[in-house]
């Protein structure tokens, strides 16, 4: 894609680049979702596995009040990655359609001319 290093060339979109990058966001969303599910199930299933020694109490004292916020933020990231994937796929498809439209604007149009110069009526 355009890196801004070529003067006068702001953006060079290649649909192949977009299509190649899109699955990365999908995979990231799946991986993060799996990690989040594992975190929630494991901690809920184990109660407070960090224990109640000094370090466990420090961790639990910080983590527990923010647990739902952490889980919610990770869920938002999953949705964000998913929407980036979908947007890149749509953008790639739209870019191809736009290229075809622009190409159609610049095709040669043949004009029928009569030999006397008068147009058809």
Chain segment 60-106, per-residue pLDDT in tens: 999 999 999 999 999 999 999 999 988 888 877 765 566 566 666 66
Instruction: Identify whether 103 is part of a domain.
Output: no
Instruction: Identify whether 56 is part of a domain.
Output: yes
Instruction: Identify whether 104 is part of a domain.
Output: no
Domain enclosing residue 49, as ranges: 23-90
- Quote the tokens at residue 57: 């109490």
pLDDT at 30 over 70: yes
Give CA–CA dist 71/26, Å, rounded: 19
Higher pLDDT among residues 64 and 119, named by residue: 64
Higher pLDDT among residues 56 and 90, named by residue: 56
pLDDT at 115 over 90: no
Instruction: Identify whether 51 is part of a domain.
Output: yes
Higher pLDDT among residues 107 and 48, named by residue: 48
Length of the chain: 121
Instruction: Identify whether 102 is part of a domain.
Output: no
Global pTM?
0.60
Instruction: Identify whether 44 is part of a domain.
Output: yes
Q: Is 34 helix (H, G, I), strand (E, B) or coil?
A: helix
Give CA–CA dist 60/92, Å, rounded: 46
pLDDT for res 1: 47
Instruction: Identify whether 48 is part of a domain.
Output: yes
Count CB-CB contacts under 10 A for residue 80: 14
How many domains does the chain divide into? 1
Q: For residues 27 and 81, is the Cβ–Cβ distance under 8 A?
A: no
Instruction: Identify whether 2 is part of a domain.
Output: no
Interhelix angle for 54-105 vs 15-46, to 10°? 160
pLDDT at 5 over 70: no
Mean model confidence pLDDT for the chain: 80
């Amino acid at each position: 894609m355009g890196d801004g290093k070529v003067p006068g060339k702001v953006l060079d979109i290649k649909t192949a680049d977009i299509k190649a990058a899109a699955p990365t966001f999908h995979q990231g969303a799946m991986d993060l979702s799996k990690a989040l599910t594992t975190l929630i199930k494991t901690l809920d299933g184990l109660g407070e596995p960090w224990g109640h020694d000094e370090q466990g109490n420090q961790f639990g004292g910080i983590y527990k009040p923010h647990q739902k916020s952490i889980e919610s933020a990770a869920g938002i990231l999953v949705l964000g990655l998913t929407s980036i994937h979908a947007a890149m796929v749509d953008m790639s498809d739209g870019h191809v359609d736009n290229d075809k439209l622009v190409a159609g604007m610049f095709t040669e149009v043949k004009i029928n001319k009569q030999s006397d110069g008068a147009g058809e009526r």
